[in-house]
Structure 1
């Protein structure tokens, strides 16, 4: 986290980028926030530089792309090894997502996509080879994702400080 909190403009920009990062230009976001495109551009650069925005990733329909198998492996590892195991799991063929749980026995969730069950088996063997204990596995049917719009309740209602900008941003 940065030394200074996000203001309402930052929160609004983050929300609008979550809605459509690819299609939202600085000008489009500026129109939604009552600031200039330059201000939006500067704010986005600042959010990237501070590590708040860490990337722009497409949402992929793996089944449409020819990978109908999506499996969620619930794994267990020693908490002291969790981060290292998460990094290693990313190297396994087919792994698209690894989530570290804060605590508990089932502390690593690994999502694998594959074309066939034999490819899922290969991924299972590789995860096991890393030393992960696979507690359970589930075939994923559907996933629904939505932008988190609760950065601050003020951005939902009337803008009260959205147009506040630092003098050097214009």
Structure 2
């Protein structure tokens, strides 16, 4: 199943996307060398991907454990009607939140939170309790993160399989 997008991507676009997802600091010269284009042609392709909204930003990946935040948790939040976190708070009040998603279903939000200790977690969840009911899940290990999006090839199987190592059971 190939990815359908508003802008049709060719093989060169996919090569550029793969390389930039691995290292967004590549110069146009180096990126062009890797994808088989001149630096000006590469710059034009990247600009078109940005203009189409496919490439939305560039940034540094920060290892939060090296900053003294070794505890990573996911918190599902069911907001109280008059205290919705999305409507009545701001990011400045909760600097520990790395990512926040609005959800459908039983919970209205999913928070990815980096903390320094269990005591910090306790204080954070106490502050958050003003906004609603919570279910907290502590991350014990990370199998992978920032996976490169590469859906160019039609043989991509979106169902987990033993080939991908997600399901070791025999089918």
TM-score (norm 2): 0.70
Task: Identify the residue that residue 7 of structure 2 maps to in structure 1.
Answer: 4
Task: Identify the residue that residue 93 of structure 1 maps to in structure 2.
Answer: 95
RMSD after superposition: 3.0
Name the CA shift for 1:139/1:40 in 2 (closer, same or farther; >3 Å).
same
TM-score (norm 1): 0.70
Task: Identify the residue that residue 163 of structure 1 maps to in structure 2.
Answer: none
Task: Identify the residue that residue 153 of structure 2 maps to in structure 1.
Answer: 153
- What SS is found at the alignment partner of 1:18? helix
Flag the structure with higher helix content. Answer: 1
CA contact (8 A) 2:7 2:52 kept: no
Matched pairs, number: 147
| In structure 2, distance between residues paired with 1:87 and 1:29 | 44
Residue 96 of structure 1: how far off its partner (Å): 0.7
1:120 aligned onto 2:108: no
1:16-165 to structure 2, matched below 5 A, reads 16-22=19-25, 24-77=26-79, 85=86, 88=89, 90-91=91-92, 92-101=94-103, 103-129=104-130, 131-134=131-134, 136-143=135-142, 144-145=144-145, 146-150=147-151, 152-153=152-153
Name the CA shift for 1:118/1:25 in 2 (closer, same or farther; >3 Å).
same
Q: Which runs of 5 or more structure 2 residues have no equivalent in the other structure?
A: 157-171
Residue 7 of structure 1: how far off its partner (Å): 2.8
Name the CA shift for 1:139/1:21 in 2 (closer, same or farther; >3 Å).
same
Name the CA shift for 1:28/1:7 in 2 (closer, same or farther; >3 Å).
same
- What SS is found at the alignment partner of 1:96? strand
Name the CA shift for 1:125/1:99 in 2 (closer, same or farther; >3 Å).
same
Name the CA shift for 1:86/1:10 in 2 (closer, same or farther; >3 Å).
farther
